[in-house]
C-alpha cells in the first residue's frame, strides 16, 4: 500500500459522493417537473454504489488478493414508485379529470441523502489529508 493507491481509493469516494449529491440535487430541482422530454412527469433517480478491488499501481504480486476497495457508481436507476396525484384542474398538464401527476420525488428523503453524501464526502477528504501527512512525515526520515 502506498500513498498513490490510497489517493485512488479516497478520490473514488469523493467522486461517488459528489455524484450522489448531484443526483439528489437534480431530484430536488425537478420536484415540480410534470413534463419531461420523454413525456410524463420526472422520475426520481438514484445511484448505485459498488465496491471494486484495487490493485496497487506497482507491485502486482503484493496486491493479487488485496482487500483494498475503491467505490464506483455503477448505475443510475429510476425510481418506479407511483407518481403523486394532485387535483389541480388549472394545471396545464392536468388530465381530463383535473388530476396532475407529480414527480415521485420524496423531498425529505433527498435532503437526508444530501446530508449523508456531504458527511461521507468530508470523511474521504479527511482520509486524503491523513495519508498525505503520513507521506510528508516519511519524507522527513533522516539521521539528523
Partner 1 sequence: MISNKLFGEKLQMMQQALDLRMQKQGLIQSNIANMETPGYKVRDFSFKEALAEATGNQKQITLSRTDSSHIGGLDIQPQSFIKVEDREVDLDEEMLKLSKNQLMYQIATSLVSKKLGGLKSAIEEGSQ
Partner 2 sequence: MKTLPLAQVQKAGVEQLQKQTETREPGSGFAEVLKNSIESVNQQMYEAGELRDGLINGEHANIHETMIALEKSGISFKMMTKVQQKAIEAYKEVMRINL
The entry of partner 2, partner 1, none near residue 90 (CB within 5 to 8 angstroms by kind) is none
Least spacing, CB of residue 65 vs partner 2, in Å:
20
57 lines the binding site for partner 2 (CB under 8 A)? yes
Question: Cα 39 from chain centroid?
Answer: 26
How many whole angstroms separate alpha carbon 3 and alpha carbon 121? 19
User: Could you tell which of partner 1, partner 2, none binds residue 82, using a CB distance below 5 to 8 A set by kind?
Assistant: none
| CA of residue 96 relative to chain centroid, distance | 39
Interacting residue with partner 2 among 22, 35, 52, 58 (CB under 8 A): 58
Minimal distance in Å, beta carbon 126 to partner 1?
Answer: 7
Specify the pairing of strand 69-78 against strand 99-102: unpaired
Task: Report if residue 71 touches partner 1, rule: CB under 8 A.
Answer: yes
E-strand spans in the chain? 45-53, 69-78, 84-87, 99-102
Could you say whether residue 87 binds partner 2 (CB under 8 A)? no
* Angle (nearest 5°) at CA 23 between 102 and 50: 125
Residue 130, interface with partner 1 (CB under 8 A)? yes
- Alpha carbons within 13 angstroms on the beta-carbon side of residue 119 total 6
Q: Residues in the site for partner 1, rule: CB under 8 A?
A: 1-2, 5-6, 9-10, 12-13, 16-17, 20, 48-51, 54, 58-59, 61-62, 65-71, 116, 119-120, 123-124, 126-127, 130-131, 133-134, 137-138, 140-144
Amino acid at each position: 500500500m502506498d500513498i498513490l493507491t490510497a489517493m485512488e481509493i479516497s478520490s473514488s469516494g469523493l467522486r461517488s459522493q459528489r455524484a450522489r449529491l448531484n443526483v439528489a440535487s437534480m431530484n430536488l430541482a425537478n420536484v415540480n417537473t410534470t413534463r419531461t422530454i420523454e413525456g410524463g412527469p420526472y422520475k426520481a433517480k438514484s445511484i448505485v454504489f459498488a465496491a471494486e478491488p484495487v490493485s496497487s499501481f506497482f507491485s502486482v504480486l503484493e496486491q493479487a488478493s488485496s482487500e483494498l476497495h475503491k467505490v464506483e457508481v455503477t448505475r443510475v436507476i429510476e425510481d418506479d414508485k407511483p407518481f403523486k396525484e394532485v387535483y389541480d384542474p388549472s394545471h396545464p398538464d392536468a388530465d381530463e379529470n383535473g388530476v396532475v401527476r407529480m414527480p415521485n420525488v420524496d423531498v425529505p428523503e433527498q435532503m437526508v441523502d444530501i446530508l449523508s453524501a456531504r458527511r461521507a464526502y468530508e470523511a474521504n477528504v479527511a482520509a486524503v489529508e491523513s495519508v498525505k501527512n503520513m507521506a510528508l512525515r516519511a519524507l522527513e526520515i533522516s539521521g539528523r
